[in-house]
Chain A
Amino acid sequence: MATEIDRREFLVATAAVAGGMALSIYVPDTLAAETAVAGNVVNPRPWLPPAEGGVEVNPWIVIGPDDRVLIRVNQSDLGQGVLTSNPMMICEELECDWSKVQSVYAEPNRHIREHNLYDHLHTEASSSVRLGRALYQQAGASARERLKAAAAAEWNVPASEIEAKNSILSHKASGRSLRFGQVAAKAAAIKLDREPAIKTPDKYTLIGRRVRRFDVEVKARVQAVYGIDVRLPGMVYATTKQSPSYGGALKSFNFDAIRNMPGVIAAVPMEGIGAASGIAVVADSWWRAKTALDKLPIVWDAGPNAHQGTSDLVALYRSKLNQKGPTPVDEGDVEAALKGATKIVEAEYQLSHQAHAQMEPPNCTAQVSADRVEVWMGTQIPDYGTNIAAKLAGVSPDKVFVHNCFEGGGFGRGGMHGELEQAVTVAKALGGRPVKVLWSREEDLAHVNGYHPMGVAKMTAALGPDGMPMAIWIRVAGNDALEGTPLITYGKYKAQLAHQLLRGFHLFPYATPNLRVEVNTMKTWVPSATWRSTGTYANVFYLESFIDELAHAAGKDPIAYRRALLNAANPASFEDNAKADWVKALDVVAQKSGWGKKLPKGTGMGVAIDDRKAVDPRGIALVALAVTVSVSPSGAVTIQRMDIIHDQGHALINPEAADRQIRGMMAWGLGPVLRQEITFNNAAVEQSNFHQYSPIRMNEFPHNITLNYIKTNRWISGIGEEVVPLVAPAICNAIYAATGKRIRSLPLSKQDLSWA
């Protein structure tokens, strides 16, 4: 349930004076493509409006004399479409002409100066609708009522008699009308006695429509300015090398060896900056900086982990599976049930480290003077970036201007700011000269700033004579997904753990009279980070694989088995009363996928289901996935078909964007199943580029993907990552159906799947 906002806050916020310092931005000739000023567009530099002018009716909404409506968006568009869908939530209430709506990023500097004016600026965990909807609807409704009040004052009639529609205010009785643009200035000065109520979903006319995204045209016409594209007068270029081994440090370097190479300007050592100690070489072009850095003699202190590798990590994680861990859930008597079991099923699962490998290598451009810091980068958390830059430059945050550029993929990586720390550090050393720090892909994979951590689980079940569970016992070991996040205390035994490691097990959807969950939270020398789907990625793999194992052990169909366990479950073990929706999602996925049909030898179907619930409840989104795979006799896997069921709750904002994002996530999920993994040797990453950490390409992307939504009675938690965790278990379950081979660790490239 989204939190209701304090309506008084709006009165305060709307009374604030329009802010934002005018910045002169260098527009290089080659990027001087004309900036469209009409229609649904964004500026190729998304931190700037498509056109100047207009009246700020409230901090979110600027209305031009020509009725053009500029919506300021407080999140980053990573391709999920918030530059379009967030304005939809405002315009649903504003009653403006949608064809005149444009958008721009809210200014981080103003947000900070005006005490979190935009509530939040971060973009993470599929939060745009969850955190924003009520806020945006209120902003739109408030502006609409003030426009009405302004027209009412003009005509001396009650505001209640005025209708707002399509950017026109009309008074039916007298036949008079005014355009929004004609009264915007007066509306901006009006204070409402009380804020209007916002629409309920049944009243929506814009939300839920299939709308074209504002950012598509500037991207398809290649005008969009990503962080890497920023060019400034006098700008120099830097590239960095951080300690190859995690925990290592820069010992010494010999700048004299590269001093006379073409274009070389400086070498800047960086201690404790970003994820590791390292060095930047600055030159008049990036290639010259890179060439010089490659030649720079550097001595590293390999550090305390120098002899550690993936096999050590695996041994360490697995050792935790033989130790009792903090126990957040312990219902009934698991031991007694195991003693009385007709059959005991045991399985150990393992997942690898993953990198984000977003297409745009990490970069940040910075210019630092005594009292002003400017930063250009694509980031998921520009306010956090502002504070980091301020701290490093030694200025107050109101002196920092982060220009949020288009970002070539976020996936959780866009909230990391090692490159920003480096750019500010190097810019500071250059005394006012702007510098663009850009990592090579090799540097990105070696120092992503935090990997999705590996994880292991031991799952044990006692089955009764009917094949149904009498007890389930889960023991997991994993890293905190985000280093430094405090552990939580959970359950009557006050278990201390990272909440992502418990996620999904805290409310257990499948009926079992005895249940124990143990969670070992690890800390290793590998930095960890959020990654599209984070903790659910592991827990859904463990649980949905294991339930499939239990179904087969019981000799039952995996969907029928799940259905029976869901039906027998206590309704209290579902967030938001979702028990019936789980069953419905299974039924729909079975129907849409043709579950149960006869398949040729070597072909099989697998299913997985989840609702993304979090330990700290914040809403759910029910998702189910059926995958049909064929495995050749020699073990080559082909994904024949994927059938996705996704919760749409009360409404999706822009189904056009939702469809594409959800479908695209199949690629994100498939890579780690087929072959992607990050491994370590001597505390250094072994994969240097896309030949070794190889995302899936066109020829592996399934041709047959269906996507169907189910309507439920809730606001869903999000769509940005919900279906990712289902891909691995659904595929592995399908492989079992096809071959009889049970996959308990990924990637598949390390497994022998031959069956002939």
Chain B
Amino acid sequence: MFALKINGKTVDVDAEPDTPLLWVLRDTLGLTGTKFGCGAGLCGACTVHVDGQPMRSCSLPAGSLAGRDITTIESIAADKNHPVVVAWIEEQVPQCGYCQAGQIMAATALLKRNPHPSDADIDREMTNICRCGTYAEIRNGIRKAAALMAKG
């Protein structure tokens, strides 16, 4: 048993400490918005924020995260007016949609660090895989979200 701070709440987790955060989120806590894609930190479908930094939860032992601030897609998506989510809808980004939780988490972290990313910044920072190939729409979504954020 160990405690984690997830989306602002402290929760007790009954799991082996080496269980990856992804599986604690999905199976123990029922937070299924964070997706499993590869289990090896390669595809980004499981991206969460740890102390504001985008991290791949499939490769983070949950027991090592005591006291860290963990934010999942559920917290982002709960904000009806979240600029990235709104931009994703405006730009009709998702196709199959499976990777998009991770894409939104990666984009949110990028925009926090860099509110006006260039095309080159987006290409460098957005490393998640999308098999439907929504990359052009993700670029548009990030630009739109940046504009929404600039307007406040």
Interface residues of A (CB under 8 A from B): 28-31, 78-80, 212-213, 215-217, 219-226, 228-229, 231, 237, 262, 285-288, 291, 357-361, 406-411, 438, 440-442, 656, 660-661, 663-668, 689-691, 695, 697-699, 701, 703, 705
Q: Are B135 and A28 in contact (CB under 8 A)?
A: no
Known: A228-B36, A441-B39, A664-B132. A406 touches B97 (CB 8 A): yes
Q: Which residues of B contact A691 (CB under 8 A)?
A: 40, 42
Offer 21 A-B interface pairs, CB within 8 angstroms, sorted by A. A78-B95, A79-B96, A212-B92, A215-B94, A217-B89, A226-B98, A285-B15, A285-B28, A286-B27, A291-B16, A357-B131, A358-B98, A358-B131, A359-B96, A406-B97, A407-B96, A409-B96, A663-B133, A668-B131, A698-B123, A701-B133
A368 to B4, CA, bound (A): 36
Write the nearest CB–CB distance from B121 to chain A, whole angstroms. 11
Q: Are A409 and B131 in contact (CB under 8 A)?
A: yes
The 9 closest A-B pairs by CB, nearest first: A79-B95, A408-B98, A667-B133, A664-B133, A219-B97, A701-B135, A79-B96, A287-B23, A690-B42
Write the nearest CB–CB distance from B26 to chain A, whole angstroms. 8
**In the assembled complex, B63 has its CB within 8 A of some CB on chain A:** no
Q: Are B35 and A360 in contact (CB under 8 A)?
A: yes
Write the nearest CB–CB distance from B140 to chain A, whole angstroms. 10
Q: Are A660 and B131 in contact (CB under 8 A)?
A: no
Q: Which residues of B contact A224 (CB under 8 A)?
A: 97
A359 to B35, CA, bound (A): 9
A216 to B138, CA, bound (A): 13
Q: Are A359 and B16 in contact (CB under 8 A)?
A: no
A219 to B95, CA, bound (A): 9
Chain B, residue nearest A231 (CB) = B30
Q: Which residues of B contact A286 (CB under 8 A)?
A: 23, 26-27
Q: Are A222 and B89 in contact (CB under 8 A)?
A: no
A700 to B69, CA, bound (A): 33
Q: Which residues of B contact A360 (CB under 8 A)?
A: 35, 37, 96, 98
Known: A30-B29, A359-B45, A359-B129. A441 touches B96 (CB 8 A): no
8 Å CB contacts to A: which residues of B53-77? 73-74, 77
Q: Are A31 and B32 in contact (CB under 8 A)?
A: yes
8 Å CB contacts to A: which residues of B8-59? 15-16, 19-20, 23, 26-33, 35-40, 42-43, 45
Known: A221-B77, A285-B15, A701-B136. A664 touches B40 (CB 8 A): no
Write the nearest CB–CB distance from B12 to chain A, whole angstroms. 16
Known: A219-B100, A287-B23, A668-B131. A689 touches B42 (CB 8 A): yes
- Which of B26, B27, B38, B132 sits near A690, CB closer than 8 Å? B38
Chain B, residue nearest A701 (CB) = B135
Q: Are A441 and B37 in contact (CB under 8 A)?
A: yes
Known: A237-B27, A408-B97. 5 other contacts (CB 8 A): A222-B73, A285-B15, A287-B15, A359-B131, A698-B127
Q: Are B127 and A697 in contact (CB under 8 A)?
A: yes
A361 to B94, CA, bound (A): 18
Q: Are A666 and B129 in contact (CB under 8 A)?
A: no
State the majority secondary structure of interface residues on B: loop
Q: Are A79 and B94 in contact (CB under 8 A)?
A: yes
Q: Are B28 and A30 in contact (CB under 8 A)?
A: no
**In the assembled complex, B109 has its CB within 8 A of some CB on chain A:** no
Q: Which residues of A contact B23 (CB under 8 A)?
A: 285-287
Q: Are A287 and B127 in contact (CB under 8 A)?
A: no
Q: Are B30 and A78 in contact (CB under 8 A)?
A: no
Write the nearest CB–CB distance from A217 to chain B, whole angstroms. 6
- Which of B39, B104, B119, B136 sits near A440, CB closer than 8 Å? B39
**What class of interface size applies to chain B in its complex with A?**
35 or more
Q: Which residues of B contact A440 (CB under 8 A)?
A: 39
A228 to B31, CA, bound (A): 12
Q: Are B129 and A220 in contact (CB under 8 A)?
A: no
Q: Which residues of A contact B26 (CB under 8 A)?
A: 286
A511 to B151, CA, bound (A): 60
Chain A, residue nearest B89 (CB) = A220
Write the nearest CB–CB distance from A451 to chain B, whole angstroms. 16
Q: Are B29 and A221 in contact (CB under 8 A)?
A: no
Chain B, residue nearest A228 (CB) = B36
Known: A31-B32, A220-B93. A359 touches B133 (CB 8 A): no
A250 to B124, CA, bound (A): 45
Q: Which residues of B contact A237 (CB under 8 A)?
A: 27
A291 to B16, CA, bound (A): 11
Q: Which residues of B contact A699 (CB under 8 A)?
A: 123-124, 127
Q: Are B130 and A667 in contact (CB under 8 A)?
A: yes
Q: Are B42 and A220 in contact (CB under 8 A)?
A: no
- B20, B89, B126, B132: most-surrounded residue (chain A CB, <10 A): B132
Q: Which residues of B contact A703 (CB under 8 A)?
A: 119
Write the nearest CB–CB distance from A230 to chain B, whole angstroms. 9
Q: Are B98 and A80 in contact (CB under 8 A)?
A: no
Q: Which residues of B contact A219 (CB under 8 A)?
A: 94, 97, 100
A672 to B15, CA, bound (A): 40
Q: Are A690 and B136 in contact (CB under 8 A)?
A: no
Q: Which residues of A contact B74 (CB under 8 A)?
A: 30, 222
Q: Which residues of A contact B104 (CB under 8 A)?
A: 220, 222
Q: Which residues of B contact A213 (CB under 8 A)?
A: 92
Q: Which residues of A contact B146 (CB under 8 A)?
A: none
Write the nearest CB–CB distance from B43 to chain A, whole angstroms. 5
Chain A, residue nearest B142 (CB) = A698
Write the nearest CB–CB distance from A367 to chain B, whole angstroms. 18
Q: Are B43 and A229 in contact (CB under 8 A)?
A: no
Q: Are A660 and B27 in contact (CB under 8 A)?
A: no
Chain B, residue nearest A691 (CB) = B42
A80 to B132, CA, bound (A): 9
Q: Are A222 and B95 in contact (CB under 8 A)?
A: no
- B19, B28, B135: most-surrounded residue (chain A CB, <10 A): B135
A237 to B28, CA, bound (A): 12
Known: A30-B30, A287-B19, A359-B99. A666 touches B133 (CB 8 A): yes
Q: Are B132 and A221 in contact (CB under 8 A)?
A: no
Chain A, residue nearest B29 (CB) = A30
Q: Which residues of A contact B73 (CB under 8 A)?
A: 222
Q: Are B95 and A228 in contact (CB under 8 A)?
A: no
Q: Are A441 and B98 in contact (CB under 8 A)?
A: no
A358 to B40, CA, bound (A): 16
Q: Are A215 and B15 in contact (CB under 8 A)?
A: no
Write the nearest CB–CB distance from A167 to chain B, whole angstroms. 25
Q: Are A222 and B136 in contact (CB under 8 A)?
A: no
8 Å CB contacts to A: which residues of B79-107? 85, 88-89, 92-101, 104
Q: Which residues of A contact B88 (CB under 8 A)?
A: 216, 220
Write the nearest CB–CB distance from B130 to chain A, whole angstroms. 7
A358 to B130, CA, bound (A): 9
A524 to B10, CA, bound (A): 55
Chain B, residue nearest A28 (CB) = B30
Write the nearest CB–CB distance from A394 to chain B, whole angstroms. 30
Q: Are B133 and A665 in contact (CB under 8 A)?
A: yes
Q: Which residues of A contact B97 (CB under 8 A)?
A: 79, 215-216, 219-220, 224, 406, 408
Q: Are A222 and B40 in contact (CB under 8 A)?
A: no
Write the nearest CB–CB distance from B126 to chain A, whole angstroms. 4
A248 to B139, CA, bound (A): 45
A703 to B119, CA, bound (A): 9
A212 to B93, CA, bound (A): 11
Q: Which residues of B contact A663 (CB under 8 A)?
A: 133, 136
